[in-house]
Amino acid sequence: MSNPIFIRCPNPKCQKSNPIPPDELEKEHTCIFCGRIIPPEKRSDESKNKSHKKDRDIRFTHQKSESKPVNKNMRKPMI
């Protein structure tokens, strides 16, 4: 048996993942938690390639360099 694919329920109050066998991905399903109908998902090879490209194009913003801590003892009056 192959590993199930999880699809998210479209109900905004539910939003839970439902396990589905990979061969039944293109069929209509019912959410096991709330009973709402989940429309079939059609995935093509192009959409899979686009999602991989998006993952590779993630760029990190420049991080602010750490500043030195302020020595608060220097602010005390000298007697």
* Residue pLDDT, tens place only, 39-67: 887 655 544 555 555 556 566 667 777 77
Domain extents for the chain? 1-44
- Identify whether the C-beta of residue 23 lies closer than 8 Å to the C-beta of residue 14: no
Report the pLDDT value the prediction gives residue 66, as an integer from 0 to 100: 75
**pLDDT tens profile 4-43:** 889 999 889 999 999 998 888 888 999 999 999 998 876 5
- Distance CA(66)–CA(41), nearest Å, equals 46
Report the pLDDT value the prediction gives residue 52, as an integer from 0 to 100: 54
pLDDT surpasses 80 at 70: no
- Write phi, then psi, for 53 (nearest 5 degrees): -65, -40
Closest CA to 19 of 35, 8, 11, 34: 8
